[in-house]
Amino acid sequence: MADEESFPVRRQATTISAPERAPHVSTLVQDRYGRTPTPGRRRVLLAAGALGLAASLALVGWVTLTGRPTLNWDDIGYKVLSDSRIQVTFDVNFSGGSASGADRPTAVCTIQALNDLRTEVGLRDVPVQAGPGGRVRATAVVQTSERATTGLIKSCARTDE
């Protein structure tokens, strides 16, 4: 092996200049999305949002309950006329609409005839118009496919709205 000489390692001093400072990540986010609200500002925004939501719900409830006419109906009775017919008597109460003259409220009630197994054997839509005071009693005959054991009102819907 050859003589190994040790060579001194020379190090040169290098100076590294600091690069320009990159913007902080939160600054970039704030530039893009806006600054983060302070806790006080956040509380004010939450309170304003909750107040706006409560006011909206109150308005929807008020309009729903007061501005809309209602319709109620009651089954009064039925009479089996034959194996293929049943007569149903019912009351309809209109509220929230005019009940005078030709502008009286109207509705269509669906009458249902059922057999002893509670299967629908007849169905008929009957138009009704409010009488004085918004009430009317109506009687209708429903044709059935077999003997009905009961007759009732399935639904009523206003047609004057």
List, run by run, the mean pLDDT of 10-residue segments along the chain (161 residues): 59 62 66 76 88 91 72 94 96 73 83 96 94 91 96 92 64
Tokens linked to 7: 């060579």
Q: What residues are paired with 98 via a beta bridge?
A: none
The full set of domain ranges for the chain reads 25-66, 70-158
Residues 6+ apart with CB under 8 A from 1: none
CATH class of 70-158: mainly beta
pTM for this entry: 0.57
Q: What's the confidence (pLDDT) of residue 159? A: 87
In which residue are the tokens 């209109």 written?
94
Q: What's the confidence (pLDDT) of residue 121? A: 96
